[in-house]
Amino acid sequence: MKKIYEFNRDCGRMGSLDGIFVATHDEVGKIVGEEIYFGEVLGKHSDICITLREIDLRVLSDDREFVAQFIEVIGEGTISGFNPLDYYDEEDEYNAWQIETK
């Protein structure tokens, strides 16, 4: 079942990552607790890499009928802002990059 999620993560003085997206509980559950590399999305040298926490996500709606209508009108995936699913890489290339540059 698809849900509408809100993502919010405070990154200190650099700013915050915010977004709204549509995903299933399983898709989101798979990345909670995982490291996600966003790159320099908050400006040059920001290099944002976070461990996604449950507190970073909030379900805006899990009403099947509403979510189905929402998807029909707006679409699936990222609605606005940042979607951690778009930045998650199972192969963890960020850590490999960190090791290679040392």
Q: Average pLDDT of the chain?
A: 90
Residue with tokens 């090791």: 99
Q: Which of residues 102 and 86 earns the better pLDDT score?
A: 86
3-class state of residue 70 by DSSP: helix
Residue with tokens 């540059």: 101
Q: What is the pLDDT of residue 92?
A: 64
Q: What is the pLDDT of residue 94?
A: 52
pLDDT tens profile 18-53: 999 999 999 999 999 999 999 999 998 889 999 999
The answer on pLDDT for 81 being more than 50 is yes
Domain ranges of the chain: 2-101
Spatial distance between the Cα atoms of 32 and 50, rounded to a whole number of angstroms: 11
Residues 6+ apart with CB under 8 A from 17: 7, 8, 9, 11, 38, 41, 42, 48, 50, 81, 82
